[in-house]
Structure 1
């Protein structure tokens, strides 16, 4: 696995919008915050464009991201937000120049598509973490923001937090993969599908119906994907929905049932995803996870 170089004071970072549209005020806020942290900032030409629900049409979003991938002076790329749209452009991107000098790509939600290509095809690490869309609601002193910039500067975290009642205790080591569960499901049977053997999977989601979550978990179970994992980290499942005829289980209970016959450790309640706190994760990094009655722990 290839790890991009760490940032330093004065590094140049880029902001692009490969998915949903975002207002110019949020882009400007993010640019100002990043400059206050000592970075030079380059904003994609179409970053605040609007084409229906997208940040510009497919060609505009592709060209912005391609330019950032190719630029030698840009050392990290912040995706401005998720939403939907990255799957429409992922196969149009040429990573040949990027691979000559890889850089960090940061984002979550729909950006899971980019993470998947980076890890599963190109073997380059990337960061699941806060995006410019979140910056106006945060302070640079917030725990997840501070940890994000520590990671970018080479200071990898150890997370230790209160165990969840559904945790399955144990310890495991493996390469960290994953992201938004709906996007992981979307990429099944594509060139960007993950090979699960020996991996530690992180999942999160937002706004899904509980029966749909169960359907996604059953797909991963029936295909043998879940069986081959070394461990599972379950993040935030926020704003989940139910029908009038209730499904009968919570999101975490659905996930717990789907992996109940496997013996690897499972950690529930890691603070990453669409909630107020989104602690960064380095996808492509070999990590150790452990769970016991006193704590959950993730070591990078």
Structure 2
């Protein structure tokens, strides 16, 4: 059972955000620079290594150095929050080197998505820290205005604002359900199965999203989660953005998402909890920031997500 939720203090104008690279190496310096500018326009100071990261094949740096960077900024009194530079792969390799003992004494905003969802779920289930599943630094320039606005409000303590959009699809109805919000990137979460870092999904509201995975791979991962019992005792299931690529035409995107949705409904057909889809979360311009680890309520009457 996860510890009681531990909420990081909200950021204020002038607070410092540190850029960390717990996963992949920097590939788009221009997006990095523009992301820094956007955070500064929001009123935050931004701290990052002047020599950036040396790279280690597909990783930003060695496991030891990436974990050391994270631990250093958690302990740094001048740093109020941490934003991940990008996703990719790498968080799983450094979890055993994170100093969990410092989290309770220094709860801070930690922001990111994709591979970073591994880090988020690990920190929450081990310490109770509520993390922010939201854009990484190099994706800030691709966000819509509503997504940027939600990011700012989440960072400054207004993350309880509901998510309500006509795009939400109720795939299976059910009574209003609530539970701790857990989950993230499907591919990343599947890698936790059979490891010491796997965590219970029981009674949680789980959200899933992914991109660039052909239908048979999505099917394989969902089936593996089903056979592992992950879908058995949920309070609710919400599906974010599922796209085959960022260049799909509208019809191709619709067909692909319907394949994913139908497979989810097949696998969870004997369960009574609600299943919602098309939540604006994931590898898309409408990547709304979510408080992972907080209690979320699926309000069926108004088709919105409420956060407590």
Q: TM-score, normalised by structure 2?
A: 0.88
Aligned 8 A contact 1:17 1:47 in 2: no
Give the secondary structure class of the aligned counterpart of 2:135. Answer: coil
**Alpha-carbon distance in structure 1 between the residues aligned to 2:195 and 2:298:** 29
Is 1:254 paired with 2:263? Answer: yes
Which residue does 1:299 correspond to in 2? 306
Is 1:279 paired with 2:288? Answer: yes
Q: CA deviation at 1:263?
A: 0.4
Aligned 8 A contact 2:6 2:104 in 1: no
Alpha-carbon RMSD across the aligned residues, in angstroms, is 2.3
Give the secondary structure class of the aligned counterpart of 1:267. Answer: strand
Q: CA deviation at 1:205?
A: 0.8
Q: CA deviation at 1:70?
A: 1.6
Which residue does 2:140 correspond to in 1? 135
Which residue does 2:153 correspond to in 1? 150
Give the secondary structure class of the aligned counterpart of 1:27. Answer: helix
2:12 to 2, 8, 12: 8
Q: 1:24 to 1:60 in 2, by over 3 A?
A: farther
Is 1:236 paired with 2:241? Answer: yes
Which residue does 2:107 correspond to in 1? 102
**Alpha-carbon distance in structure 1 between the residues aligned to 2:156 and 2:18:** 16
**Alpha-carbon distance in structure 1 between the residues aligned to 2:208 and 2:116:** 13
1:40-59 alignment runs, 5 A limit: 40-44=45-49, 47-59=52-64
**Alpha-carbon distance in structure 2 between the residues aligned to 1:110 and 1:185:** 11
Unaligned runs of 5+ in 2: 249-255
Q: CA deviation at 1:136?
A: 2.7
Q: TM-score, normalised by structure 1?
A: 0.90
**Alpha-carbon distance in structure 2 between the residues aligned to 1:173 and 1:20:** 34
Which residue does 2:253 correspond to in 1? none
Q: 1:120 to 1:47 in 2, by over 3 A?
A: farther
Give the secondary structure class of the aligned counterpart of 1:130. Answer: coil
